Amino acid sequence: MANLKFGGDMQRIKVVFLGIVFWILTVSTGWAITITEPKAGTVFHPGDKVMVKANLASEEDPRQGVIIFTGQLTDDDCPIFFSGPYECGFTIKKHFLGEGKITFVAKLPNGDIKEAKVTITVVLPPTTTVTGIGADFTGRKETFLQIARKPSGDFVPSGAANENNFSVGADYSDGVARDITNNPNVTYKSLNEKVAIVIPPGQWEIGPGQVVTDRALVKATGPGKTSIIVQYGEFTDRVTVNVKECPYTEGMKRCPR
Query: What pLDDT digit, counting tens, does each position of 37-63 carry?
Result: 999 999 999 999 999 999 887 656 665
Same domain, yes or no: 104 and 187: no
Domain containing 38 equals 32-122
pLDDT of residue 128: 95
Residue 213 CB: number of other CB atoms within 10 A? 11
Q: Is the residue at 152 inside a domain?
A: yes
Mean pLDDT in residue range 204-218: 83
Residue 235's SS3 state is: strand
Task: Write the pLDDT tens digit of every residue in 136-191.
Answer: 998 899 999 998 888 888 887 666 678 899 999 999 999 999 999 989 999 999 99
Mean pLDDT in residue range 1-28: 41
- Answer whether residue 20 shows pLDDT above 60: no
Q: Is the residue at 13 inside a domain?
A: no
- What angle is formed at CA 180 by the lines to CA 199 and CA 211, rounded to 5 degrees? 40
Task: Write the pLDDT tens digit of every residue in 62-92.
Answer: 656 788 999 889 988 888 888 888 999 999 9
pTM of the shown model: 0.70
Among 95, 122, 149, the domain-final residue is: 122
Residue 247's SS3 state is: coil
User: Can you give the C-alpha Rg of the chain in angstroms?
Assistant: 28
Among 103, 122, 141, the domain-final residue is: 122
Same domain, yes or no: 39 and 143: no
Q: Is the residue at 19 inside a domain?
A: no
Q: Is the residue at 6 inside a domain?
A: no
Same domain, yes or no: 134 and 241: yes
* CATH number, residue 229: 2.60.40.3450
How many domains are contained in the chain?
A: 2
In whole angstroms, what is the distance from residue 121 CA to residue 125 CA? 12
Q: Burial of 114 by CB count in 10 Å (0-12 exposed, 13-18 middle, 19+ buried)?
A: middle
Task: Write the pLDDT tens digit of every residue in 101-117.
Answer: 999 998 877 777 889 99
Q: Which of 24-38, 55-69, 125-139, 210-224 has the highest mean pLDDT?
A: 125-139
Among 70, 104, 122, the domain-final residue is: 122
Q: Is the residue at 252 inside a domain?
A: no
